[in-house]
C-alpha cells in the first residue's frame, strides 16, 4: 500500500463528495420546480485488491445518480387526472347552464308562466276590456321571449363545449409531439449509458397534461420510451412516432365536432374516450344539454298546443272563431305570439259563445292546474320546477365528484412529494454531511502529501 | 415509521386548507347578503323545486283573491240596484192601492199614470245599468240594452250578423253597410205593401219619426244608407205594431262572399237565444256543409249539408236564406242570429262566471230575465205589470188597477228572492276570501321556511369560520419562518 494510492483514494473521495455536493445544490435550487424528483448520489466502495498477504481498499465512487420516484404513484396520478379532468369539464359547463335557469330571484320562466295564466283570469273577469287584452298579449310575448332566449342560451353553452373540444385536441397534439421528442432524446441518452433524469421529469409532466385531456393507457418499452394508446388499443405515440388527432364536422349536425385521426377521418373516436376533459365536454354537449333542450322544447310545445286548441274553440270580439294564439311550433326557439293577435287584440277569443261571456279565457286560465305534462301527471309549473331541480342536481353531483377527485389527487400528490420531493431540512443536513466528507478527504490529501514529503526527505 | 415531509407538501397542505376555509366563509357571506339559503338550484335542488311549486300556488291564490274582489264589486252593485227596484215597486203598490179605491177619480188616476210612467222610466234605467263596459242585467249579450221601453208583441229575429272575418260577405235584408244606432221600424197601420204605414226610430225605439207609407216595392230607405226590404212571400200582411229592428251589421273586412243573407220566419222558442251557423266545408251551396248551435256557439248539432237551395232551418221556426254572390262560403265562416221572445227583454239567461279556486267556477251575475221576467226562474214580467197598471190608470179602470195588486206583490217577492241570492253569493265569496287569506299566509310561511336563511344561525357560523380563517392565516405566516437554515452556521 503506497502513499500514491492514498493520494488516489483521497482524490476519489474529493471528487465523489464534490459530485454529491453539486447534486445537493441542484436539489436545493429545484425545490420549487414542479414535477422535480430529487436525485441522490449513490456512493459505493470501489472494493479492494489483494496485494500479497493483505488487501488494499481502493476508495469510493459515485456508482450512479439515482432518481427517487415511485412508478406506481405516477400511474395512479395519471389515472386520477383522467377523472379530475372529466369532472372539471362537466362542472364548468353545467355552471353556465345553471345561470340560465337560476330561478332563485324570480323573473324566470316560472314567474312569467304564472303571470301568463293570471292575465287570462283577469281577461275572463272583463272579457271586452282592452286593457286586459293588452296585458295578456304583453304577458304572452314575455313568456315566448324567455323561452326563446333560454333555448338560445342553452345552444350557445353547447357551442362553448364544442369549441373547447377543438382547443383541447390541438393541445393534445402538442403534448403528443413533445412526448415523441422526449422519447427520442431519452432513448439516445440511455443507449449512451447516461442518465436522462431531468428529461424524464419533463416527460412525466407532459404525460400528466395529456392525462387531463383524455384517458389513455401507457407503458414503457425496452428503449425507455413511453408508448401511449387509446383505451381501445389504437396507438397514439410509439417511440418517436405519433398519430395526430383532428376534429371534423359531424355529418348530422355540422356545427358539432367529431374527433378523428388526422390521417383517417372516417373513424369517429368520440366513444372511445370516456374520461378526461374531452369526454366531459362531449358528454355534456351530446347528452346532458341535448336532454335539457328536449325538456324545454317539450314544455313549450305543450303550452303552445293546448292554448291553441282551446283558443280556436272560442269567439273573439268580432264573433270570429279564434285563430291560433301562438304560432304553431314544436321548439322553444320558435315560440312566438301569433302576429294576428299582436296586431289586433280583439282577436283574442275570450268567450265560449258569440256573446261576450269570457268563459274561454276562464277555461284557459285554469290550465295552470291541468295535468298536461308527463303523460297526464304533472302541471306545466310542476314540470318546470322538476326540470330546474334536475339541472341543480346534475351540477351538485358534479361539484361533489370534483371535490372528491380533488381531495384524492391532493393525497396522491402529497404521497409523491413524500417520496420524490425535496426537503430542505434533509438537503441541508446532507450538505453538512458531504462537506464534512470533503473536508476529511482534503485533510487526507494533506496527510498523504506529508507522508510523501517525509519519504522523499528520507533520502537526502 | 417516519414519513418524509418535503417543502411542497407543507405548502400544498396549507394552501388547500386555506381554500377550503375560505370557500365555507364565502358561502356564509353570500347567505347573509341575500338572506336566502338557496341562491342557485345546485345549492338545494329539491328545495328549489319545492320553492317554485309554492310560488306558483301563491300566485294562484293571489289571482283568485283578485277574482273574488271583482265578483264582490259586481254583486254589491247588483244588490243595491235591486234594492232600488224593490223600493220603486213599493211606490207602485201604494199608487195602485190608492187608485183602486172609490175615493180616486179619473183625474187622480191620470195624474198617477204619469207617476207610474216615471216609475217605469226609473226602473228602466236601473235595469239597463252598466258596470264598466257590461250591462248588469243583460245575461251575456252585450250588443244592446237589455230592456226596451216598449213591448214587442211578436217574437223577433235580429238580423243575421256575420262574424268579423267571414269571407262570405253578404248584405242583409237591410241593404248597405252600416254601423251604429239600432234602427227600429214599426208598422203603424197594417196592410199590404203600398198601403201600410210605418214610422222609424233611430234610438232603439224610444222616440219615433213621422209615419210614411211603405212603397209597393217593399223597400224603405233609412238614413245612413240603409234600406229595409219587405218581401211579400209570407201569408200574413204587415200588421199594426209589427216591429223590426236592425242591428249593427258588420261588413266583415275579410269576407269575400258577397251574396245576401236573410233571416226569416217567426221564432217559436220560449227564451231569447242566439243561433250560430258555422260553415264546416267550404264550397258552393251544394258542396258546403255546416253546423248549427242554439246556445251561442258552445255546443253544435250534427253536420248538415242541405244548403243546396240556399235556405236552412235553424230550429224553433227560424230560417236563414243565403243568396249567392261572387265568392263561395269558406270553412269557419260564422253567422249568428239573435232570436227574441215577445216582451221587453233583449238579453239572454246566461250568467258570467269566474274562477275563485282550483276547479271552482262561480257564477256571479244574475240575468235580467230571472229578475224582471217570468222566464228563467221568475214568475212575473215586472215591466208588463207596470205598463198594464199605467194603462189601467189612464183608462180609469179601478178593476184593472186592483187586478195588478197581486202581481205587484209577486213582483216584490221575485225581487227579494234575487236580493237574497246576492246575499248568499256574497257569503260564499267571503268564506272563499278567508280561505284564500289563510292559504296565502301558509304558503308564504312555507316558502320562507324552505328558502330563507336563519340570520342568527348564519351569523354565528360566520363568526366561527372567521376564527378558523384567522387561525389558518396565522399558521401560514409561521410556516416560512421556521427552517433549519436559522440554525446552521
- Show me where the domains of chain A are located: 3-68+422-458, 75-410
**Alpha-carbon gap, residue A355 to A115, rounded angstroms:** 26
Range with the lowest mean pLDDT among A334-343, B33-42, B142-151, B221-230? B221-230
Strand partners of residue B102: none
**Alpha-carbon gap, residue B8 to B4, rounded angstroms:** 11
Chain B residues with beta carbon closer than 8 angstroms to that of A118:
59, 62-63
Nearest chain A residue to B9 by CA distance is: A414
The model's confidence at residue B254, banded by pLDDT at 50, 70 and 90, is very low
pLDDT (0 to 100) of residue B255: 40
Q: Is the pLDDT higher at B152 or at A19?
A: A19
Chain B residues with beta carbon closer than 8 angstroms to that of A320:
163-166, 332, 334
Q: CB A104 to CB B67 under 8 A?
A: no
Q: Are B336 and B163 in contact (CB under 8 A)?
A: yes
Q: What is the average pLDDT across B76-105?
A: 90
Find all residues with CB under 8 Å of A41, minimum gap 6, and list them.
A16, A19, A20, A23, A62, A65, A66
Q: Are B229 and B218 in contact (CB under 8 A)?
A: yes
Q: Is the pLDDT higher at A139 or at B285?
A: A139
Chain B residues with beta carbon closer than 8 angstroms to that of A392:
40-45, 48
The model's confidence at residue A116, banded by pLDDT at 50, 70 and 90, is very high
- Minimal Cβ distance to B55: which of A110, A414, A429: A110
Nearest chain B residue to A395 by CA distance is: B42
Range with the lowest mean pLDDT among A67-76, A157-166, A333-342, B52-61? A67-76
The model's confidence at residue B287, banded by pLDDT at 50, 70 and 90, is confident
The nearest CA of chain A is from the CA of B36 a distance in Å of 9
Find all residues with CB under 8 Å of A244, minimum gap 6, and list them.
A173, A176, A177, A261, A262, A263
Q: Is the pLDDT higher at B176 or at B99?
A: B99
Of B99, B125, B101, nearest to B113 by C-alpha is B99
Q: CB B40 to CB A392 under 8 A?
A: yes
pLDDT (0 to 100) of residue B170: 37
Cβ under 8 Å to A: B residues 130-149? 132-134, 139-143
Q: CB B45 to CB A356 under 8 A?
A: no
- Tell whether A391 is within 8 A of chain B (Cβ): yes
- Tell whether A401 is within 8 A of chain B (Cβ): no
The model's confidence at residue B268, banded by pLDDT at 50, 70 and 90, is confident
- Tell whether A390 is within 8 A of chain B (Cβ): yes
Tens digits of residue pLDDT in B4-18: 888 888 888 889 989
Nearest chain A residue to B355 by CA distance is: A362
- Minimal Cβ distance to B298: which of A102, A353, A365: A353
The nearest CA of chain B is from the CA of A400 a distance in Å of 11
| ipTM reported for the complex, 2 dp | 0.83
Q: Is B210 helix (H, G, I), strand (E, B) or coil?
A: coil
Q: CB A122 to CB B49 under 8 A?
A: no
Q: CB A113 to CB B278 under 8 A?
A: no
Range with the lowest mean pLDDT among B57-71, B130-144, B232-246? B232-246
- Asked if residue A76 has pLDDT above 70, the reply is yes
- Please state, for a pLDDT cut of 70, what percent of chain B lies above it: 81
Chain B residues with beta carbon closer than 8 angstroms to that of A422:
6-8
The nearest CA of chain B is from the CA of A51 a distance in Å of 44
Q: CB B41 to CB A354 under 8 A?
A: no
Q: CB B70 to CB A125 under 8 A?
A: yes
Q: CB B41 to CB A352 under 8 A?
A: no
Of B78, B89, B83, nearest to B137 by C-alpha is B78
Fold (topology level) of B36-149+349-452: f41 fragment of flagellin, N-terminal domain (1.20.1330)
- Tell whether B334 is within 8 A of chain A (Cβ): yes
pLDDT (0 to 100) of residue B231: 63
Q: CB A413 to CB B163 under 8 A?
A: no
- Asked if residue B246 has pLDDT above 70, the reply is no
**Alpha-carbon gap, residue B221 to B228, rounded angstroms:** 6
Cβ under 8 Å to A: B residues 76-115? none
The model's confidence at residue B146, banded by pLDDT at 50, 70 and 90, is confident
Chain A residues with beta carbon closer than 8 angstroms to that of B49:
385-386, 388-389
Chain B residues with beta carbon closer than 8 angstroms to that of A402:
none
Q: Are B347 and B139 in contact (CB under 8 A)?
A: yes
Q: CB B8 to CB A419 under 8 A?
A: no
Q: Are A137 and A341 in contact (CB under 8 A)?
A: yes
Phi, psi of A30 (to 5 degrees): -95, 20
The nearest CA of chain A is from the CA of B149 a distance in Å of 22
Q: CB A429 to CB B5 under 8 A?
A: no
Range with the lowest mean pLDDT among A311-325, B211-225, B464-478? B211-225
Range with the lowest mean pLDDT among A386-400, B248-262, B364-378? B248-262
Q: CB A418 to CB B4 under 8 A?
A: yes
pLDDT (0 to 100) of residue A114: 93
- Tell whether A343 is within 8 A of chain B (Cβ): no
Range with the lowest mean pLDDT among B72-81, B215-224, B319-328, B457-466? B215-224
Find all residues with CB under 8 Å of A172, minimum gap 6, and list them.
A210, A213, A214, A245, A278
- Asked if residue B250 has pLDDT above 60, the reply is no
Complete DSSP assignment for A38-85: -EEEEEEE--EEEETTEEEE--EEEEEEEE---HHHHHHHHHHHHHHH
List % helix, strand, coil for chain B (3-state, nearest 5). Answer: 45, 20, 35
Alpha helices, DSSP H only, in B101-213? 106-127
The model's confidence at residue B178, banded by pLDDT at 50, 70 and 90, is very low
- Asked if residue A252 has pLDDT above 80, the reply is yes
- Minimal Cβ distance to A354: which of B38, B336, B355: B336
- Tell whether B35 is within 8 A of chain A (Cβ): no
- Tell whether B33 is within 8 A of chain A (Cβ): no
The model's confidence at residue B404, banded by pLDDT at 50, 70 and 90, is confident
**Among B73, B355, B453, the residue to mutate for chain A (most A Cβ within 10 A):** B355
Range with the lowest mean pLDDT among A137-151, A372-386, B238-252, B344-358? B238-252
The model's confidence at residue A280, banded by pLDDT at 50, 70 and 90, is very high
pLDDT (0 to 100) of residue A220: 87
* Domain extents in chain B: 36-149+349-452
Q: CB A391 to CB B166 under 8 A?
A: no
CA dihedral of A161, A163, A169, A171, whole degrees rounded to 10: -110
Nearest chain B residue to A118 by CA distance is: B63
pLDDT (0 to 100) of residue A193: 65
Q: Which DSSP letter does residue B168 get?
A: B
Tens digits of residue pLDDT in A133-143: 999 999 999 99
**Alpha-carbon gap, residue B175 to B227, rounded angstroms:** 5
Alpha helices, DSSP H only, in A249-379? 276-283, 289-311, 339-343, 359-365
Of B295, B300, B199, B286, nearest to B243 by C-alpha is B199
- Minimal Cβ distance to B353: which of A102, A359, A399: A359
Q: Are B35 and B453 in contact (CB under 8 A)?
A: yes
Q: CB A103 to CB B488 under 8 A?
A: no
- Asked if residue B203 has pLDDT above 60, the reply is no
Q: CB A396 to CB B42 under 8 A?
A: yes
**Among B2, B5, B6, B33, the residue to mutate for chain A (most A Cβ within 10 A):** B6
- Minimal Cβ distance to B12: which of A317, A381, A410: A410
- Asked if residue A407 has pLDDT above 90, the reply is yes
pLDDT (0 to 100) of residue A130: 92
**Alpha-carbon gap, residue B319 to B263, rounded angstroms:** 6
Q: Are B238 and B245 in contact (CB under 8 A)?
A: no
Q: CB A321 to CB B332 under 8 A?
A: yes
**Among A73, A355, A413, A431, the residue to mutate for chain B (most B Cβ within 10 A):** A355
The model's confidence at residue B256, banded by pLDDT at 50, 70 and 90, is very low
- Tell whether B38 is within 8 A of chain A (Cβ): yes
pLDDT (0 to 100) of residue B232: 58
Range with the lowest mean pLDDT among A30-44, B4-18, B172-186? B172-186
Q: Are A288 and A94 in contact (CB under 8 A)?
A: yes
- Minimal Cβ distance to A319: which of B67, B161, B484: B161
pLDDT (0 to 100) of residue A194: 65
Tens digits of residue pLDDT in B290-308: 888 888 888 888 888 877 7
Tens digits of residue pLDDT in B439-448: 999 999 999 9
Amino acid at each position: 500500500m503506497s502513499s500514491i494510492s492514498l493520494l488516489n483514494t483521497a482524490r476519489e473521495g474529493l471528487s465523489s463528495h464534490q459530485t454529491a455536493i453539486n447534486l445537493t445544490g441542484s436539489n436545493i435550487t429545484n425545490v420549487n420546480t414542479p414535477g422535480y424528483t430529487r436525485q441522490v448520489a449513490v456512493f459505493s466502495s470501489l472494493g479492494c485488491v489483494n496485494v500479497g498477504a493483505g488487501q488494499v481498499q481502493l476508495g469510493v465512487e459515485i456508482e450512479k445518480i439515482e432518481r427517487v420516484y415511485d412508478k406506481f404513484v405516477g400511474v395512479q396520478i395519471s389515472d386520477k387526472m383522467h377523472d379530475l379532468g372529466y369532472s372539471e369539464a362537466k362542472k364548468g359547463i353545467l355552471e353556465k347552464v345553471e345561470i340560465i335557469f337560476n330561478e332563485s330571484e324570480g323573473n324566470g320562466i316560472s314567474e312569467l308562466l304564472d303571470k301568463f295564466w293570471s292575465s287570462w283570469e283577469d281577461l275572463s273577469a272583463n272579457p271586452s276590456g282592452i286593457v286586459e287584452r293588452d296585458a295578456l298579449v304583453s304577458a304572452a310575448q314575455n313568456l315566448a321571449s324567455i323561452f326563446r332566449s333560454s333555448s338560445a342560451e342553452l345552444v350557445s353553452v353547447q357551442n362553448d363545449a364544442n369549441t373547447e373540444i377543438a382547443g383541447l385536441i390541438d393541445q393534445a397534439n402538442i403534448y403528443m409531439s413533445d412526448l415523441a421528442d422526449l422519447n427520442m432524446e431519452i432513448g439516445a441518452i440511455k443507449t449512451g449509458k447516461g442518465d436522462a433524469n431531468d428529461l424524464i421529469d419533463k416527460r412525466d409532466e407532459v404525460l400528466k397534461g395529456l392525462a387531463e385531456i383524455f384517458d389513455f393507457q401507457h407503458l414503457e418499452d425496452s428503449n425507455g420510451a413511453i408508448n401511449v394508446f387509446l383505451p381501445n388499443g389504437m396507438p397514439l405515440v410509439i417511440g418517436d412516432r405519433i398519430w395526430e388527432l383532428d376534429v371534423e364536422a359531424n355529418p348530422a349536425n355540422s356545427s358539432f365536432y367529431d374527433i378523428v385521426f388526422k390521417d383517417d377521418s372516417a373513424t369517429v373516436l368520440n366513444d372511445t374516450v370516456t374520461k378526461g376533459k374531452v369526454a366531459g365536454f362531449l358528454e355534456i354537449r351530446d347528452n346532458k344539454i341535448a336532454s335539457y333542450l328536449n325538456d324545454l322544447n317539450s314544455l313549450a310545445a305543450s303550452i303552445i298546443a293546448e292554448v291553441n286548441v282551446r283558443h280556436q274553440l272560442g269567439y273573439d270580439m268580432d264573433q270570429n272563431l279564434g285563430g291560433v294564439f301562438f304560432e304553431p311550433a314544436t321548439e322553444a326557439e320558435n315560440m312566438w305570439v301569433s302576429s294576428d293577435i299582436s296586431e289586433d287584440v280583439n282577436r283574442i277569443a275570450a268567450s265560449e259563445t258569440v256573446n261576450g261571456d269570457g268563459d274561454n279565457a276562464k277555461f284557459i286560465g285554469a290550465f295552470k292546474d291541468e295535468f298536461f305534462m308527463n303523460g297526464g301527471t304533472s302541471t306545466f309549473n310542476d314540470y318546470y320546477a322538476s326540470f330546474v331541480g334536475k339541472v341543480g342536481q346534475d351540477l351538485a353531483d358534479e361539484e361533489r365528484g370534483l371535490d372528491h377527485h380533488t381531495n384524492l389527487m391532493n393525497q396522491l400528490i402529497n404521497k409523491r412529494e413524500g417520496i420524490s420531493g425535496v426537503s430542505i431540512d434533509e438537503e441541508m443536513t446532507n450538505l453538512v454531511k458531504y462537506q464534512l466528507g470533503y473536508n476529511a478527504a482534503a485533510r487526507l490529501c494533506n496527510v498523504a502529501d506529508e507522508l510523501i514529503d517525509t519519504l522523499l526527505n528520507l533520502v537526502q | 415509521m417516519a414519513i418524509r415531509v418535503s417543502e411542497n407538501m407543507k405548502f400544498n397542505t396549507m394552501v388547500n386548507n386555506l381554500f377550503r376555509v375560505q370557500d365555507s366563509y364565502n358561502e356564509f357571506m353570500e347567505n347573509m347578503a341575500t338572506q336566502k339559503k338557496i341562491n342557485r338550484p345546485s345549492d338545494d335542488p329539491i328545495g328549489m323545486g319545492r320553492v317554485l311549486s309554492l310560488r306558483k300556488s301563491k300566485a294562484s291564490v293571489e289571482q283568485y283573491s283578485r277574482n273574488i274582489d271583482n265578483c264582490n264589486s259586481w254583486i254589491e252593485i247588483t244588490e243595491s240596484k235591486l234594492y232600488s227596484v224593490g223600493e220603486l215597486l213599493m211606490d207602485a203598490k201604494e199608487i195602485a192601492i190608492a187608485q183602486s179605491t172609490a175615493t180616486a177619480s179619473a183625474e187622480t188616476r191620470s195624474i198617477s199614470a204619469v207617476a207610474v210612467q216615471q216609475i217605469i222610466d226609473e226602473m228602466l234605467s236601473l235595469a239597463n245599468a252598466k258596470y264598466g263596459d257590461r250591462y248588469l242585467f243583460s245575461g251575456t249579450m252585450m250588443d244592446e240594452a237589455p230592456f226596451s221601453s216598449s213591448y214587442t208583441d211578436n217574437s223577433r229575429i235580429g238580423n243575421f250578423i256575420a262574424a268579423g272575418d267571414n269571407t262570405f260577405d253578404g248584405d242583409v235584408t237591410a241593404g248597405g253597410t252600416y254601423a251604429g244606432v239600432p234602427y227600429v221600424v214599426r208598422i203603424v197601420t197594417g196592410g199590404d205593401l203600398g198601403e201600410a204605414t210605418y214610422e222609424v226610430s233611430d234610438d232603439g225605439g224610444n222616440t219615433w219619426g213621422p209615419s210614411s207609407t211603405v212603397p209597393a216595392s217593399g223597400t224603405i230607405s233609412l238614413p245612413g244608407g240603409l234600406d229595409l226590404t219587405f218581401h211579400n212571400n209570407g201569408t200574413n200582411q204587415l200588421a199594426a205594431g209589427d216591429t223590426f229592428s236592425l242591428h249593427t251589421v258588420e261588413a266583415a273586412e275579410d269576407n269575400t262572399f258577397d251574396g245576401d243573407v236573410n233571416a226569416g220566419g217567426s221564432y217559436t222558442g220560449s227564451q231569447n237565444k242566439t243561433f250560430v251557423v258555422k260553415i264546416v266545408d267550404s264550397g258552393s251551396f251544394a258542396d258546403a256543409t255546416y253546423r248549427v248551435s242554439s246556445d251561442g256557439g258552445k255546443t253544435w248539432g250534427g253536420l248538415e249539408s242541405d244548403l243546396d237551395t240556399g235556405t236552412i232551418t235553424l230550429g224553433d221556426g227560424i230560417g236563414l236564406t243565403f243568396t249567392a254572390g261572387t265568392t263561395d262560403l269558406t270553412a269557419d265562416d260564422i253567422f249568428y242570429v239573435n232570436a227574441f221572445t215577445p216582451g221587453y227583454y233583449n238579453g239572454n239567461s246566461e250568467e258570467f262566471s269566474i274562477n275563485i279556486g282550483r276547479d271552482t267556477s262561480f257564477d256571479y251575475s244574475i240575468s235580467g230575465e230571472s229578475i224582471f221576467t217570468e222566464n228563467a226562474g221568475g214568475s212575473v214580467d215586472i215591466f208588463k205589470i207596470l205598463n198594464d197598471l199605467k194603462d189601467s190608470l189612464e183608462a180609469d179602470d179601478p178593476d184593472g188597477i186592483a187586478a195588478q195588486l197581486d202581481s205587484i206583490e209577486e213582483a216584490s217577492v221575485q225581487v227579494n228572492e234575487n236580493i237574497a241570492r246576492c246575499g248568499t253569493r256574497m257569503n260564499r265569496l267571503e268564506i272563499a276570501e278567508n280561505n284564500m287569506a289563510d292559504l296565502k299566509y301558509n304558503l308564504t310561511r312555507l316558502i320562507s321556511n324552505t328558502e330563507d336563511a336563519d340570520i342568527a344561525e348564519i351569523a354565528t357560523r360566520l363568526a366561527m369560520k372567521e376564527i378558523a380563517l384567522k387561525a389558518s392565516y396565522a399558521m401560514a405566516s409561521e410556516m416560512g419562518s421556521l427552517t433549519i437554515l436559522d440554525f446552521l452556521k
